[in-house]
Amino acid sequence: MITQEEVSLYIQNIPPAPSVLRQTLEYLRDGDLPKAAKCAEEDPALKLYLKTLINRPIYGFRNEVSDLNQIFSILGISTTQQILYSYLLSLLLPKQWSLFTLTDQNFYDLQASLGRKWEKILKHLGLHNRDTESAITLLPASIIVCDALFGAHAKEVAQLRSVKALDYNTILIRLSKRSLFDLCSEIALKWEMSPSIAKIVHAASGTDSQISGNLKLLAQWMHLLLFYELSQSAYVSAGLNEFIDFQIDFVQDIYESFMQVVDDETSR
C-alpha cells in the first residue's frame, strides 16, 4: 500500500515550471499582455493547448480563435493566468488513467467548466483577482495525484474500500498522514504560485477549522463547486464522486446562493 516515502517521491519528481511559462507569467504579473502573448508563442505545446482550450464549446466562440494576442486580449490577465496554470497542470496528466475511467478530453472539459463557473462565483462574491481565480486550477491536481498514487494499488484499495466505505482522501491521510489537499499545496509552492493560492485550495478540503472571513467563504464555494461538478453523470461514471468526502455541514449556509449563481450560469 502507499507509504509516506512513495508520496514524497511523487512530489519530488514533479517537474518545475518550464522557463517560457515562468517568463510568460512574469509578464502577466507586470500587466503586459502583448509581451506575455509573444513569449507564449515560443512554446509550441503551450500555444496548441491555449488554442484547443479557448475553442472548447464552453467558451462560446462561434469562429475559431487562433492568434495568441487575440486570445490573451479576450481572456484578460486574470483568466489568462488561470489557463496558464491549467496548462502547467496538464503536464502532470498520466499517459493512461489507471484508477479513474477518464480521458484527457474529459479532464480538459472539467478544467474549463470549473474555471468558468469559478470566475462567475468570484464576481458574485466581489472577490475576483488573479490569485483567487487561479486557485481553481489546482483542484483538478488532486484528481491527478489520486490516480497516480492509488492506480498502482488498485486491487488493494478496492479490497479496503469494500470493507470500509472510505474515500480516497481519507485512505491517503491514514496511510501517509497527508491529504490530497496537502499535496496540492506542495505542488503550488513547487511551481512558485502565490502562497494565497495554496491556502485557498487547502481550505477547500472543508476540514480546516482555523479559517474565517474571505478565506472561509472562498473555501466553502470552492468545495461546493467541486462536488457540484463531480456529481455530473460523466464524472460519476468515472468514479470521481468517491475520491474525497463531501463536507455538507461546511457548505450548508451557502447552498441556496450557490445554486442560484450556478443555475444562472448553466442556463445561458
pLDDT tens for each residue of 90-132: 888 998 998 899 988 888 889 888 988 999 999 999 999 889 9
Query: Does residue 176 or residue 259 have the better pLDDT?
Result: 259
The gap from C-alpha 45 to its chain's centroid, in whole angstroms, comes to 20
- Per DSSP, the three-state class of 238 is coil
Q: Evaluate if residue 214 carries a pLDDT over 90.
A: yes
Residue 30, CB half-sphere, CA atoms under 13 Å: how many? 12
pLDDT at 37: 94
pLDDT at 171: 87
| Shared-domain flag, residues 50 and 156 | no
pLDDT at 268: 53
pTM of the model: 0.86
pLDDT at 136: 92
| Shared-domain flag, residues 188 and 68 | no
**Inter-residue contact 203 to 216 (CB < 8 Å):** yes
* For residues 124-142, average pLDDT: 91
Q: Single out the residue in 57, 90, 123 at which a domain terminates.
A: 90
| Shared-domain flag, residues 226 and 121 | yes
* For residues 2-13, average pLDDT: 88
List, in order, residues 6 or more apart from 77 with CB less than 8 Å away: 28, 31, 33, 130
| Domain assignment of residue 174, given as a range | 4-16+96-266
| Shared-domain flag, residues 209 and 156 | yes
**Inter-residue contact 239 to 150 (CB < 8 Å):** no
* For residues 178-185, average pLDDT: 90
| Shared-domain flag, residues 173 and 72 | no
Nearest Cα to 130, choosing from 88, 81, 185?
Answer: 81
Q: Single out the residue in 90, 124, 152 at which a domain terminates.
A: 90
Distance CA 135, CA 97 (A): 24
Q: Evaluate if residue 227 carries a pLDDT over 60.
A: yes
| Shared-domain flag, residues 49 and 153 | no
CA torsion, ordered 160, 98, 207, 126, to nearest 10 deg? -160
